[in-house]
Structure 1
Amino acid sequence: MAASASPAAAAPPPPFARALSSSTSRLFALPLPLHPTRHKSPRIAIRAPIATRSSLISDPAAAAAAAAAAAELGFDAVSEAELREKGFMGMRKTKLVCTLGPACGSAEALERLARGGMGVARLNMCHGSRDWHRGAIRALKRLNREKGFCVSVMMDTEGSQLLMADHGGVSSLKIEDGSEWLFTTEKFEGSRPFTIQVNFEGIVVGDELVIDGGMVTFEVVEKVGNDLRCKCTDSGLLLPRAKLSFWRDGVLVERNFGSQPYRQRGIDFIAVSLVKDVDDIKHLKNYLARRSLDSIKVIAKIESLDSLKNLKEIVGASDGVMVARGDLGVQVPLEQIPAIQREITLLCRQLNKPVIVLLSFLNQWLNTLLPLVADVSEAVRQYADALMLSAESAVGAFAEKSLSVLRMACGRMELWNREENQQKLLSQHQLAVSLPDRISEQICISAVEMGI
């Protein structure tokens, strides 16, 4: 359309408008990454002049003009509201992903999460029925259409895990160390004391059962008919329909769940669980391409030793990466997780790929008001493109509060990062005197900043 317009109409938009267009697009508006000012590639380092950036914050008229430009560019309701309130430099760059579940399944709860900053809704295929997932997708699309939001849908596939329910309640259950529980495949309504429903196969006496990446651990001590009697070896909280994996002789035992419902309409991203090598990503991408579904972006979940061994190839072949700290903690010593997260994030920055960090950092918010935001701050400082709530939003008692704290923590850390970077620039001493030398000096400084 630009080619047929008049020369005056074809003039490029102001710098801040171009930056706004790239920074408030969907979660992964590829080939541009989530953070246009964070990545080091010169083709995406779009920055407004200092005067323009400062005026957007201090001058209400400039902020209103920017908001009008945002409306013309088709921004969603949340991004436009942030722009009007804070100006471009005050807008939050870190995207927020929320896992949907019983705590936020209604249309009203979804709208509150969307207004609170949810940019992507994650559907965990390990939990809930296919009909429930379809209903959630329809509700999200209706919300986008009627309320002006732009919430994308991510389908998180099943991996080597079993579905497990507790005594039938909707809240978490405290499992004490040394207590014995009966794991049964029998289906029953309500709850039974010290009984857990689970669809297992192939588990034998001596196996170690790890729930939700280490929230609770059991050892199988006896087989009772078709059921298993297990002893808790590491106490913790048991969530409704939690993930379960089992180990035998120090090796994780995997289970094949067969075909996934990739044909489900309305999906924007597929997060692939337990990626072993690059072939897992290529196979799925070929599958989607053959069915004309290549608009769906493939996210590789890094949650096993195999994925760490083939990390660079997996990141290069995927459209984005999710760092599943909880699942990694099952196979990797916990003290190594922060360093591994930093390494993965740095590699994604180098390869220009978006990265989501799933920390389970607010598990204390499931039933209490004791947030831990240190991990949030560290992930933002590492320039993670998105942070994800899991059980906090799916089954937690404070889903909206968790999202609010996450949003505020991201905004605060981004502000501190900008101030820190500005101080670093201010501390540089100008050495050149003549104009040609000063130009050369600025080129060198810019090259260093871009990592060339």
Structure 2
Amino acid sequence: MGENGFRSTRRTKIVATIGPATCSEEMLETLATSGMNVARLNMCHGTHDWHTAVINRIRKLNKLKGFSVAIMLDTEGSEVHTSELEQPLKAEVGEEFVLTIRDPKTVEGSAIGVSYDAFVDDVQVGDLVVVDGGMVSLEVKQKMGPDVKVEVVDPGIVLSRANLTFRRNGHLVRARNSMLPVLSSKDWLDIDFAIRQNVDFIAVSFVKSADVIKNLKSYLNSRADKVIEVIAKVESHDSVPNIEEIVEASDAVMVARGDLGAQIPLEDVPSVQKEVVVRCRQAGKAVIVASHLLQSMIEYPTPTRAEVADIADVVRQRADALMLSGESAAGAYPEKAIGVLRAVATRIEEWCRQEKHGQIVLPQLTDRLDGRVSEELCASAAQMANNLNARAIFVYTRRGYMANFLSRCRPDCPIFAFTDKQDVRQRLNLRWGVMPFRLDFGADPEENVDRTFALLKRRDLVQKGDLVVVVSDIRPPNEDVVRSVQIRHVP
């Protein structure tokens, strides 16, 4: 039990993108201590050697400090990107430069490479090139063979491997770029790398339908030595009509609002976000809301009031996790950004419990008797915990299923989940309200309960006399599974 480190009872989880600003051992420990539950590695940037070094540092941190930081690998996708830049480019209004499909070093003046050979064919003079979902907007002024001269309309910062979308007369241009595959040859190499590294999650960029998710899960089942959950990123125009099938096929879903807002009308983004959150909650799938949560904190130490209100709205919707991108990867204040997410989430969660806000009707997930028993058991346990004002729910689970069912119910109290597998523990760290611990289960269930009571008393997470709900589906050796719900007082 000694490897179980500090835990927070904040229900909403935090995903932080790791980059140059946060890849050192010291910064990774700082982020984990501040509240990072999942570390995201963006395969748009860095080499496999760089990512391997970061993964090794995270695993060392988990082992030595008792954290359970999970690792997410995010594929680049086949959408149109800029090339690698030596440093971020600050684009000012009226400034002109060239976007080229050639090596930008061969172009006179300021030039940025584009990953897509048909870029020049797809755009026309007067089109708007939107960078990273609106970080910068560029107007096409002239086409010159393999080069396109553009002028900055909306200023901002252009980062390496930034996504590019094209708009004409206010509408998204879907030309040959719409025919690009979801997973490129580079993505498959990165997926093989993820399998070798035994990451916990693979996020698939620019998902269009459920087919690519099913194909990837089949590939992982045949090649991976452990369970790697697949996260579908809803960030393209093509994904919106297929949200229901994408949620059903995926293990989790991410609403990547930056790129999504560049492909659909901005005013539609909130409703799509809400639909994805509700569908995931009903289906018992984890849902992450990402992009532009604290965009101003890339440069400034305090957020805007609008950003705080946006975070509060996501928490009120009871999404499983909030995600930082550039704020933690390359921003000047990554620790403060996580602190803002933590503080706002904790306060709004308290308000939701007081006002009973965010409750939804949960449909039955399966017709199988075994699954229905688990669903009903967890729903009853969550309801009892709320009605009795329980201090916590304790759940003992080998595969994490019962903890997931409990998380789906969004009980008022924290869920302390105990599992004997480290990889299950890390995957549970993405689930709303679940505080996962690793425990070597003994043959005596009562002894397991006593050990966990003692552990959490030492951490001041429960106290003598606290009322708790205990849920178990641990299967004794050579016996049928015995599911139980108990009401206990901490001795």
TM-score normalised according to structure 2 size: 0.64
Match of 2:249 among 308, 311, 317: 317
Letter paired with 1:111: E
Shift of 1:187: 5.7
Deviation digits for residues 341-387 of structure 1 (CA, Å, limit 9, x no counterpart): 11111111111111000031211001113412111100110000000
Q: State the number of aligned residues.
A: 345
Asked if residue 296 in structure 1 is aligned to residue 200 in structure 2, the reply is no
1:183 maps to 99
Q: Which runs of 5+ in 1 are unaligned?
A: 1-70, 83-90, 425-442
Asked if residue 147 in structure 1 is aligned to residue 75 in structure 2, the reply is no
Asked if residue 219 in structure 1 is aligned to residue 139 in structure 2, the reply is yes
Match of 2:192 among 241, 246, 263: 263
2:338 maps to 403
Match of 2:31 among 91, 110, 113: 113
2:443 maps to none
Deviation digits for residues 72-119 of structure 1 (CA, Å, limit 9, x no counterpart): 7x64x231xx3xxxxxxxx10111000011111111111100111101
| Aligned-pair identity (%) | 43
Q: What SS does the corresponding residue of 1:118 show, helix, strand or coil?
A: coil
Q: 2:322, 2:72 → 1: CA distance?
A: 14
Q: 1:183, 1:336 → 2: CA distance?
A: 29
Q: What SS does the corresponding residue of 2:199 show, helix, strand or coil?
A: coil
Q: 1:192, 1:236 → 2: CA distance?
A: 22
Asked if residue 78 in structure 1 is aligned to residue 10 in structure 2, the reply is no
Q: Which runs of 5+ in 2 are unaligned?
A: 360-379, 388-408, 411-491
Asked if residue 237 in structure 1 is aligned to residue 172 in structure 2, the reply is no
Letter paired with 2:129: L
Shift of 1:321: 0.6
2:324 maps to 389
Structure 1 range deviating more: 114-123 or 288-297? 288-297
Q: 2:248, 2:155 → 1: CA distance?
A: 37
Match of 2:130 among 202, 207, 210: 210
Cα RMSD over matched residues? 2.9
Letter paired with 2:283: L
Deviation digits for residues 107-138 of structure 1 (CA, Å, limit 9, x no counterpart): 11111001111010001111122221111111
Q: 1:167, 1:129 → 2: CA distance?
A: 14
Kept in 1: contact 2:253–2:285 (CA 8 A): yes
Letter paired with 1:251: V
Kept in 2: contact 1:117–1:403 (CA 8 A): yes
Kept in 2: contact 1:357–1:384 (CA 8 A): yes
Q: What are the within-5 Å matches in structure 2 for residues 223-372 of structure 1?
A: 223-224=143-144, 226-232=146-152, 234-247=153-166, 250-252=172-174, 253-254=177-178, 255-256=180-181, 257-258=184-185, 259-264=188-193, 265-293=197-225, 295-371=227-303, 372=307
Letter paired with 1:218: L
Kept in 2: contact 1:363–1:391 (CA 8 A): yes
Q: 1:280, 1:364 → 2: CA distance?
A: 34
Change (3 A) 1:92 1:192: farther
Letter paired with 1:131: D
Shift of 1:293: 4.5
Shift of 1:285: 0.5
Q: 1:93, 1:318 → 2: CA distance?
A: 22
Shift of 1:143: 1.2
Q: What SS does the corresponding residue of 1:397 show, helix, strand or coil?
A: coil
Q: What SS does the corresponding residue of 1:183 show, helix, strand or coil?
A: strand
Q: What SS does the corresponding residue of 2:163 show, helix, strand or coil?
A: strand
TM-score normalised according to structure 1 size: 0.70
Q: 1:127, 1:167 → 2: CA distance?
A: 10
2:309 maps to 374
Kept in 2: contact 1:211–1:244 (CA 8 A): yes
Kept in 2: contact 1:137–1:266 (CA 8 A): no
Kept in 1: contact 2:163–2:259 (CA 8 A): no
Kept in 2: contact 1:359–1:375 (CA 8 A): no
